[in-house]
Structure 1
């Protein structure tokens, strides 16, 4: 993992990453506790916060919520292109995670409430993750949602060990995120047949490329999160994350028995 650190130090921009072998407890990090803009990666802890409220009996996944034109947010996802109609919470969480749908995530924030979501973040143990705004509200730096590569990896660890949600809900989220449609960052150089072992959530904005993932293999279960800022352009950022992801994957293949 030292090679990944050296690689990031040689690249333009600012980077953090965190790797953990959940089974053995081996960890390696670089700026892993430095808060950075989360972008779409904030949807991972939001999903955990929502399901915690479902487990508390405050909502059910079959609850229906109406999406009208004023709810829609341009960007990733398909709901923006569809007509006004009701969606179940189950549909909203699937759209938020599989397609990174911005309208779905904003609706979930409205339903649960920003304060309750942040309270649940703290309960989960996320020390540097703060939801500050919906997607459509971000206009100034201080309004950006922030997290760290350590915190995002902690979400995967909680799901893998069933320490925050029930086993059913934990496995449900992991399986949903294995179908995440944006697997072109840290996994770009990993062969397609191996990507089925990876659950991940990406995030990006101008000068920002993030990716957080859980890897489940016979030899062990691993988390890997990369966050960046001030990258020259999206292509530069994507290539950087892809090469780092390949280094990580090669390390697992070569050093773990």
Structure 2
């Protein structure tokens, strides 16, 4: 249990709010008092969109979508810099998860309908809410808790169909690796998805070795920009502690 004490040491007495949930081999291992507190989800909501496609619409992944101009937005991703406007759904899923592409995400939200996906989420995960498109100026917010997005993540990674293979591959090649998986033990294969907004820094990851599967979700909310470095440091240390 020394590991838990080390994690607690990382997250206690900090000027920011941290929620954490850790599972080992599918069983809850550690969570703190904020694990069921609602946070803005940032890009972690993309996991929930992928889960809807994997479970409800797996037969559609070879369909093609031509992006409308309203789908193409700034922020993370590459579609907004490319001239290619027609994509297969499976490629949009990959771009959404590996590069956190906001335009790919919005195209999927338009195609499958945001409200339809949100209804699926409300029926399955009461604390995950999909209420707006990515980069959209809105009074509505996409939200989750550490435990609820962990449920989404585990269901997503434990799936078993063609869509699941695309998703696993995307999360394995996620380009932002500066948080939980930054200094993890190389004996673990890693799958992760990160999320950030002006006041949020999140990461969720699976560390998989021959004998162990560790899932960890860390959500943070902070007010001062000078805390940013400390938060990155904390999340990196948690990944390191879990895989020692």
Structure 2 length-normalised TM: 0.89
Instruction: State whether structure 2 residue 200 is matched by structure 1 residue 208.
Output: yes
Q: How has the CA–CA distance of structure 1 residues 26 and 70 changed in structure 2, closer, same or farther, with 3 Å as cutoff?
A: closer
Which piece of structure 1 moves more, 126-135 or 213-222?
Answer: 213-222
Q: Residue in 2 aligned with 1:154?
A: 151
The residue correspondences of 1:49-198 to structure 2 (distance < 5 A) are: 49-55=52-58, 57=59, 60-123=60-123, 125-140=124-139, 143-162=140-159, 166-190=160-184, 193-194=186-187, 197-198=189-190
Q: 1:65 to 1:160 in 2, by over 3 A?
A: closer
Q: Secondary structure at the match of 1:128?
A: coil
Residue 231 (structure 2) aligns with: 237
Q: Which has the higher helix share?
A: 1
Cα deviation code 1:139-164 (max 9, x no counterpart)? 44xx22101111121123223443xx
Aligned pairs, how many? 238
Matched with 2:38 is 35
Which residue number corresponds to residue 12 of structure 1?
15
Q: Give the aligned CA root-mean-square deviation in angstroms.
A: 1.9
CA displacement at 1:137 relative to structure 2 = 1.6
Q: Which moved more, 1:110-119 or 1:232-241?
A: 232-241
Contact 2:36 2:146 in 1 (8 A): yes
CA distance in 2, matches of 1:156, 1:207: 23
Q: Once the two structures are superposed, what CA deviation does each residue of 1:105-132 show, in whole Å capped at 9, x if it has no partner? A: 0111111112211122134x32200001
Alignment-derived partner of residue 254 in structure 1? none
Structure 1: gaps of 5 or more residues: 251-257
Unmatched 5+ stretches in structure 2: none
Q: Within 1, Cα distance between the matches of 2:187 and 2:229?
A: 23
Q: Corresponding residue for 1:199?
A: 191
Check conservation: 1:21, 1:223, Cα contact below 8 A.
yes
Q: What SS does structure 2 have at the residue aligned with 1:212?
A: strand
